[in-house]
């Protein structure tokens, strides 16, 4: 099992591009997944709503380390056309988020020196993800 995990880690590491304080993972969505992990049925996964902002601030903000404190400002964009966020909720507490933009042109990526000429209208931007310490692994 450890060898398999090492091979997976090496494969992912080979696809990571780390520049401008962003880490990029390039992965072809045309590739087939071999399997997905079994989901914990007690965890609800859904898109965030504007009404979730108070719970996000209460449940998640205290756990976000200073080095990724920048994530907090993007939650104010909930309800905008291109910004979305998935939440994982367990026992009425938000334990995870994943931010994404349906339009990379309207994302923070456009403010980096990342070759704006290759970003197309149909491109999405996968933003930050965070899981509370208690539910990691």
- Read off the pLDDT of residues 110-134 as tens digits, 9 standing for 90 and up: 777 766 777 887 888 888 888 898 8
d(CA 44, CA 91): 9
Q: How far apart are CA 49 and CA 53, in angstroms?
A: 7
Domains belonging to the chain, first-starting first, are 2-135 (3.40.630)
pTM for this prediction = 0.68
Q: Which residues of the chain have pLDDT under 70?
A: 1-3, 5-37, 69, 114-115
CA-nearest of 55, 107, 112, 109 to 77 is 107
Q: Are 48 and 71 in contact (CB under 8 A)?
A: no
Q: Is the dihedral of CA 31, 37, 38, 42 positive or negative?
A: negative
- E-strand spans in 3-120? 16-19, 22-25, 43-47, 83-90, 93-101
């Amino acid at each position: 099992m450890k060898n398999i995990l090492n091979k997976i880690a090496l494969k992912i590491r080979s696809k990571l591009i780390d520049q401008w304080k962003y880490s990029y993972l390039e992965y072809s969505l045309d590739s087939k997944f071999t399997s997905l992990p079994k989901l914990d049925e007690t965890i609800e996964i859904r898109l965030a709503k504007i009404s979730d902002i108070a719970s996000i601030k209460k449940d998640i903000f205290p756990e976000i380390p200073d080095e990724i404190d920048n994530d907090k400002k993007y939650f104010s964009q909930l309800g905008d056309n291109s910004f979305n966020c998935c939440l994982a909720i367990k026992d009425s507490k938000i334990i995870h988020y994943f931010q994404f933009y349906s339009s990379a042109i309207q994302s923070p990526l456009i403010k980096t020196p990342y070759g704006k000429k290759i970003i197309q209208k149909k491109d999405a931007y996968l933003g930050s993800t965070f899981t509370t310490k208690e539910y990691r692994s």
